[in-house]
Amino acid sequence: MSTASLKVQSQSLNDRLSKRNFDRLASFIYRYSGIKMPSTKQTMLEGRLRRRIRATGLTTFDEYCDYVFDHGGLESELVHLVDAITTNKTDFFREPKHFDYLRDQALPALSRSGVSRFRTWSSACSTGAEPYTMAMVLDTYLANNRDGSYSILATDLSTDVLEKARLGIYPVEVIEPVPAEMRRKYVLQAANQSRREVRMTPYLRSKIGFGRLNLMDNRYSVGEPMHVIFCRNVLIYFDKETQGRVLHRLCECLVPGGYLFIGHSESIAGLDLPVRTVANTVFQRL
Residues found near ligand SAM in the complex (CB under 6 A): 33-35, 86-90, 94, 124, 126, 130, 156-158, 161, 214-216, 232-234, 237, 263
Least distance between ligand SAM and beta carbon 72 (Å) = 23
Q: Which of 15, 83, 139, 156 is catalytic?
A: 156
276 catalytic per annotation: no
Round to whole Å and give the CA distance between 116 and 65: 52
Q: Which is nearer to ligand SAM, 81 or 124 (CB)?
A: 124
Q: Which is nearer to ligand SAM, 168 or 263 (CB)?
A: 263
Q: Which residues contact 27 (CB under 8 A, 6 or more apart)?
A: none
Cβ proximity of 260 and 250 under 8 Å: yes
239 catalytic per annotation: no
C-alpha torsion angle, residues 213, 214, 219, 223 (rounded to 10): 10
Least distance between ligand SAM and beta carbon 266 (Å) = 10
Cβ proximity of 205 and 168 under 8 Å: yes
Q: Is the dihedral of CA 58, 61, 66, 67 positive or negative?
A: positive
Q: Is the dihedral of CA 16, 22, 24, 28 positive or negative?
A: positive
Q: Which is nearer to ligand SAM, 60 or 133 (CB)?
A: 133
Least distance between ligand SAM and beta carbon 143 (Å) = 25
Least distance between ligand SAM and beta carbon 242 (Å) = 9
Cβ proximity of 161 and 126 under 8 Å: yes
Q: Which is nearer to ligand SAM, 89 or 112 (CB)?
A: 89
Q: Which is nearer to ligand SAM, 157 or 187 (CB)?
A: 157
List the beta bridge partners of residue 119. Answer: 151
Least distance between ligand SAM and beta carbon 6 (Å) = 33
3-state secondary structure (DSSP) of residue 90: coil
Q: Which of 24, 48, 52, 54 is catalytic?
A: 48
Name the burial class of residue 256, with classes exposed (0-12), middle (13-18) and buried (19+) by CB atoms within 10 angstroms of its CB. exposed
Residues annotated as catalytic (active site), given as ranges = 48, 156
